[in-house]
Amino acid sequence: MRLTSKGRYAVTAMLDLAFHSQLKPVTLIDIAARQTISLSYLEQLFARLRRANLVKGVRGPGGGYSLCSNACDISIAEIVAAVGERIDATKCGGEANCQKHHACLTHDLWMDLGDHIKSYLQQITLADLLAKGRVQEVAERQNQEARQVIEIRNHADLMNDIK
């Protein structure tokens, strides 16, 4: 079992998306700037998120990504699974055969642990995280810090939209 930056980045990016994509799609460039994640790496992650039907992409200017469902219907477990992180703690992958085609001494322990973690992550949704004060604070700070990079662009877009 492993939970690495791949899964952390995916959840972080999805949360950023949930936070900013109320009106229009959000570009990966913006997410990369706000969350300090490599753009190329994000692209790879979003390819998988798209294949898992969690986000949809819109090409061209004004494009970007937005969520497929409501934030309250997307669990952390789904996101983590979509990018291929194994939440399973067993060696056998649930087959109970890691020791000469038989179960090893600790198979049940790791199965139970995996189920435990899975159900924990399943019960938490993006909406739950959005509701936390701490998340709001951090998102605010990130907006401040990434302002010069992002908002100038977005502001120009907005002016154009108004025109």
Q: Which residues bind a second copy (CB under 8 A)?
A: 1-5, 8, 11-12, 15-16, 35-36, 76, 89, 91, 99-100, 102-110, 113, 116-117, 120-121, 124, 129, 132, 134-135, 138-139, 141-142, 145
72 belongs to the binding site for DNA (CB under 7 A) = no
Q: How far is the CB of 109 from DNA (least distance, A)?
A: 16
Picking from 88, 29, 128, 72, the residue whose alpha carbon sits closest to that of residue 13 is 29
Report how far residue 122's alpha carbon sits from residue 76's, in angstroms, rounded to the nearest whole number.
Answer: 6
- CB closer to a second copy, 43 vs 145: 145
Q: Which of residues 80-119 bind ligand FES (CB under 6 A)?
A: 90-92, 96-98, 103-104, 107, 110
- CB closer to DNA, 71 vs 80: 80
Report how far residue 51's alpha carbon sits from residue 105's, in angstroms, rounded to the nearest whole number.
Answer: 37
Give the DSSP letter string of 27-46: -HHHHHHHHT--HHHHHHHH
Assign 121 to helix, strand or coil.
helix
22 belongs to the binding site for DNA (CB under 7 A) = no
92 binds, among DNA, ligand FES, a second copy, none (CB under 5 to 8 A by kind): ligand FES
Q: How far is the CB of 52 from ligand FES (least distance, A)?
A: 23
As beta bridge partners, residue 57 has 65
Cβ contacts of 122 within 8 Å, gap of 6 or more: 75, 76, 77
